[in-house]
Structure 1
Amino acid sequence: MSVLLIEAFYGGSHKQLMDLLNGEIEGCVLYSLPAKKWHWRARTAALHFMEAVPPSDSYRVLFTSSVLNLAELIALRPDLGKLKKVLYFHENQLVYPVRKNQDRDFQYGYNQILSCLVADLVVFNSAFNMESFLTSISKFLKMIPDHRPKNLERLIRPKCRVIHFPITFPDVSRFLPEHKKISMKCLGHQKEVTVHSQNETAKVAPTVFGQAEEHMTQPWREPNNPMTPPEESHSVDDGQVISQPSSSSFSTESPRPLHIVWPHRWEHDKDPETFFEIMMKLKDQGLPFCLSVLGETFTDVPEIFSEARISLGSAVLHWGFLPNKDEYFQALCTADVVISTAKHEFFGVAMLEAVHCGCYPLCPKALAYPEIFPAEYLYSTPEQLLKKLQNFCKRPGIVRRHRFQGETAPYSWASLSGEFRSLLTAEPGKDP
């Protein structure tokens, strides 16, 4: 073992990345803490790993996320300071949205700045993440009442680079509805993306869909009431509702209503208030749609979720986190449109996964989204988002015939594995 992986918040995209590196790159050993109590992980994880990580002469590289205070760990464990130290930013605390500016805890951003100063390489998952962090350092440090440090951006920037988060796009062909399968056959000249895993090499279908006729999809609603869903079977467990349509309720007279999916964490920085406000406007206008609200929940769930679940009623098809990946991708494959209303997004794994499953993306024209998605998928205001959805609800065939005008392959492990392997290789000629 030559690569020491340390993750202080082993959940979500943090877990995905560490599991991927640990499984794909030889010589890795992983030490982690569960994804709970984020604030306490940021404050105290260094002390835990000081004790948890045994000394070893075989370590050559230390790779960790920016949740860990790397400066503290290196001070507590000088032997680890001799390694090539790589710090990966999934997000940064200098611009992470808070409800009120006075709620921002100076310590978390300060810890990240200190970690950058002791790291040998600082890697960000997007250019937006990197630039928003580096250009905010000076302003952030003005919170210090006096004796403020200077020129830290100049010290840190030369260490920085962007390597997008690597996604393992699965083969979802078995989950695709008929119109998406037909689209893929029509676009058979597109190249497949090869994804290498520890045990096998899989061919992943290209993420471009279109050319299918709207009438080829099975209708979803009863023709006499556009807001009435089919007969459903419900299972309710700890607030999670999974609904499956009954085959007997399909009609051949009209297309099924637009299926909207929102696959994000149930937290305020994803702005669920704006999303549900728009969904209620669609419902009040009598426009036909159905909805899947996925994503993880944590300790404090915004009240809007329970309110919206009641208000949206029968429009809801899926409600709650789907821990089983097959079920999750199956839900994405049945959807037409994936929406983000985020106030915070430094990359956006869930949006790219949904696009891979044939969803039409609608994202804010801000944050990391313009870096990843072509302009036609971006909106500037909630009013623009509402107008697009009104049109799609009236004419769902628009999105079902659409061919995605961007690429997902550059964000795959197949494309990015070489850069990560280079990161986790000690420079030749250096004595760690």
Structure 2
Amino acid sequence: MPLKILILEPYYGGSHESFISGLEKLPFEFESITLPARKWKWRMRLSAPYYADKLRELDRKFDLIICSTFVDVASFRGLAPRWVREVPLLTYFHENQFEYPMQVNEERDMHFALTNMTTALASDSLAFNSAYNLETFLEGIDKLLKKSYDMKLENASAIIRDRSRVLPPGIDFSTIDTINEPEHDGPPVIVWNHRWEHDKNPEVFFNALLKLDSEGVDFRLVVLGESFREYPPIFDKALKKLSDRVLYSGYAKSRDEYAGWLRQGDIVVSTARHEFFGMAVIEAVRAGCCPLLPNRLSYPELFPKELLYEEEDFVQRLKECILIGKRLSPDRAMELTSAFSWDALTPAYMSWIMDSLAS
């Protein structure tokens, strides 16, 4: 009989959705209970009693449970049927609320960060998508607990580190790999494929492009990524001024269209102030875009130093990339990304699950 695994994901969308899609290809019997990716604060506050109720209705047991950090695991295990406390529960950290960026003028609610901490303490095993995610989480715990007055938890971060491992989310490259590479005989095409939000630091990116445009440096631009009702005004300002250079801007309508635009690119750029992993960049690199990334966050874990820049060198490095205008060779693109495919990562995920059953 295959192992029966229950996945609880109250924020089913984006990277969380693609992660589960890949996970369900492992040789186990999976069942998922999901909710749409919206109102994340309500998800974190109420998913525990919601899922506890669902399991009582389901009246069925599983061998193992996997949650995301949008489930308050400590509350869930206390409210759920008894068998939930008797089987391994694993939590995957796509992000942590100590380091997650706030909206402009928004104050951090440490309740959510503490929920992440108690979730980690109440889980049997943890996986983080990057060492950067893990280390900022543990640093956040240590800093916060220094303010806890007479309620000292001396070993909290040590306990959490001991049950943690770094497991990048597997990526399905099949759509990108099946799209033929087009001819690249015009000016170099720069790709931006990030959310249209302040934490991705679009002002630095677009101001650099506007400067190079004023110097007569020739390039084309593809701006992908999800936008929301409110987004930084630099997008409208820059896209208007660079309109003769823009090949496309907006959210791609399908996975095929998205992959097609990545294939059109020569350079992919990040100026992010926040990144727990970097799936969008890895996808662009797989498509052949040469990456130019900040030497911080998760990027030094993912790519060699020659593809990283220091803040003060960004405009000059971008100019050099444009003037060279050279895409990655197919072999180099594979070399830089193959470690992040589900095929490559399956043994590590199998080990995470099987180790939790043995402990």
Both proteins in one fold, TM over 0.5? yes
Preserved contact between residue 365 and residue 380 of structure 1 (Cα < 8 Å) = yes
1:170 equivalent to 2:174? Answer: yes
User: What is the CA-CA distance between 1:78 and the residue it aligns to?
Assistant: 4.0
- 337, 348, 356: which is aligned to 1:408? 337
Partner of 1:198: none
Preserved contact between residue 176 and residue 334 of structure 1 (Cα < 8 Å) = no
Preserved contact between residue 52 and residue 81 of structure 2 (Cα < 8 Å) = no
User: What is the CA-CA distance between 1:40 and the residue it aligns to?
Assistant: 1.9
- Residues 1:145 and 1:304: Cα distance change in structure 2 (over 3 Å): farther
1:293 equivalent to 2:296? Answer: no
CA RMSD of aligned residues (A): 2.4
User: What is the CA-CA distance between 1:400 and the residue it aligns to?
Assistant: 6.1
Partner of 2:45: 43
1:70 equivalent to 2:73? Answer: yes
- Residues 1:172 and 1:141: Cα distance change in structure 2 (over 3 Å): same
The one-character-per-residue Cα deviations of 1:239-280 (angstroms, maximum 9, x if unpaired) are xxxxxxxxxxxxxxxxx1110001111122111121111121
Structure 1 runs not aligned, ≥5 long: 180-216, 219-255
Paired residue type of 2:74? A
Aligned length: 354
**TM-score under structure 2 normalisation?**
0.91
- Counterpart Cα distance in 2 of 1:31 and 1:129: 25
Paired residue type of 1:13? S
The one-character-per-residue Cα deviations of 1:318-370 (angstroms, maximum 9, x if unpaired) are 11111411111110001000011111111111111111100000111001100
User: What is the CA-CA distance between 1:58 and the residue it aligns to?
Assistant: 3.3
Question: Residue 11 of structure 2 aligns to a residue in which SS?
Answer: strand
Partner of 2:9: 7
- Counterpart Cα distance in 1 of 2:104 and 2:141: 19
- Residues 1:47 and 1:97: Cα distance change in structure 2 (over 3 Å): same
User: What is the CA-CA distance between 1:86 and the residue it aligns to?
Assistant: 0.3
- Residues 1:18 and 1:273: Cα distance change in structure 2 (over 3 Å): same
The one-character-per-residue Cα deviations of 1:144-179 (angstroms, maximum 9, x if unpaired) are 465343321122111111111111111545533356
Q: Which has the larger radius of gyration?
A: 1
Preserved contact between residue 84 and residue 426 of structure 1 (Cα < 8 Å) = no
User: What is the CA-CA distance between 1:63 and the residue it aligns to?
Assistant: 0.3
- Counterpart Cα distance in 2 of 1:95 and 1:148: 22
Partner of 1:94: 98
Partner of 1:324: 254
Partner of 2:320: 391
More helix, by proportion:
2
User: What is the CA-CA distance between 1:308 and the residue it aligns to?
Assistant: 2.4
Residue pairs, 1:79-118, within 5 angstroms: 79=82, 80-98=84-102, 103-118=107-122
- 182, 188, 204: which is aligned to 1:274? 204
Paired residue type of 1:379? Y
- 335, 348, 351: which is aligned to 1:422? 351
- Residues 1:395 and 1:23: Cα distance change in structure 2 (over 3 Å): closer
Question: Residue 174 of structure 2 aligns to a residue in which SS?
Answer: coil
Question: Residue 366 of structure 1 aligns to a residue in which SS?
Answer: coil
- Counterpart Cα distance in 1 of 2:283 and 2:269: 12
User: What is the CA-CA distance between 1:394 and the residue it aligns to?
Assistant: 3.0
Identity of aligned residues (%): 36
User: What is the CA-CA distance between 1:142 and the residue it aligns to?
Assistant: 3.7
Partner of 1:26: 28
Partner of 1:368: 298
Structure 2 runs not aligned, ≥5 long: none
Partner of 2:237: 307
Paired residue type of 1:263? N
User: What is the CA-CA distance between 1:23 and the residue it aligns to?
Assistant: 4.0
User: What is the CA-CA distance between 1:75 and the residue it aligns to?
Assistant: 1.4
- 243, 261, 285: which is aligned to 1:355? 285
Residue pairs, 1:120-135, within 5 angstroms: 120-135=124-139
User: What is the CA-CA distance between 1:43 and the residue it aligns to?
Assistant: 2.0
